[in-house]
Amino acid sequence: MGPVRTELMWQAVVDAVEVASDAVPGEGLNVLDLGGGTGSDAVRLAHLGHRVTVVDPSPDALASLHRRGVEAGLEHTVRGIQGDAADLLDHVEQSSIDLVICHGVLEHVDDPGQALATVATVLRPGGHASVVVSGRNAAVTARALAGDFIAAQTLLGTTSTTWDTQTMGPRRFVLEEVQELLGAHGFVTVATNGLRVFADLVPSAIVDTEPGARDALYALERLVRTSSDFTSLSAGLQSIARLDLNSAPSDTGGKHAAL
């Protein structure tokens, strides 16, 4: 097994694919990995038989993605496009996607609501989105454990909408904020998982040197991921959501306005 963090994040993708595949049985999915970076998940998804489009603003990340795709012989099922959440509709057809992976991206975009509205527009009705964001409570805990109590208090007093990414860095969320955003853009949340409740707090010296520690930590994380007691403290908050067939029009003025 690779690093625990990497495997937990990949498992979050697998969990989302499982939910989305129930709605599209028998054939591979059309997957959009928004902000998919260097494409390690995208290439693994293509290995499983899915057709994957990565849209990411970083040319360096896309170059790595291209290399990975060629090395794996999967360059025809993984394509990279330079773009971002704001201009997504210039690159991806409306209602063409079965599953959008949006992991670690809403922290960086100018307007998370606009990003989800656009995600809704490229999804086919009944399609799914998997959203992973950084947990604010985990950040508070990490600051406090590091002895930076003032920073911990500052984070506690902030919400994802009052967060200033210019001065505070990538935005952090609590689960209720993500679910509210998803609901406001026509999504019904079907599953929530807490990713990395412990993995970011445990010193890597323990995980990398103790025999069996990596597997045991992975197993522990998988055990607690659906427990609401632990989810609120996790460093990664995953929401898997279905685009409601009767969803209200999104504010991109997209095709779902006709539903």
Q: Which residues bind ligand SAM (CB under 6 A)?
A: 9, 34-37, 56-58, 61, 84-85, 103-105, 108-109
| Integer-rounded Cα radius of gyration of the chain | 18
Residue closer to ligand SAM, measured from CB, 116 or 217: 116
CA atoms within 13 A on the CB side of 245: 2
CB of 192 to ligand SAM, least distance (A): 17
Structure tokens at 81: 């496009």
CB of 55 to ligand SAM, least distance (A): 7
CB of 179 to ligand SAM, least distance (A): 20
CB of 75 to ligand SAM, least distance (A): 19
Residue closer to ligand SAM, measured from CB, 2 or 147: 2
Residue in 206, 216, 16, 35 with CA at minimum distance from that of residue 98:
16
Sheet with 187-195: list strands edge to edge.
78-82, 51-56, 30-34, 97-103, 123-134, 236-243, 187-195
Cα separation, 82 vs 74, whole angstroms: 19
Residue closer to ligand SAM, measured from CB, 79 or 103: 103
Residue in 58, 97, 62 with CA at minimum distance from that of residue 79:
62
CB of 180 to ligand SAM, least distance (A): 21
Residue closer to ligand SAM, measured from CB, 84 or 98: 84
What amino acid is encoded at 244 in this protein? D
Residue closer to ligand SAM, measured from CB, 84 or 200: 84
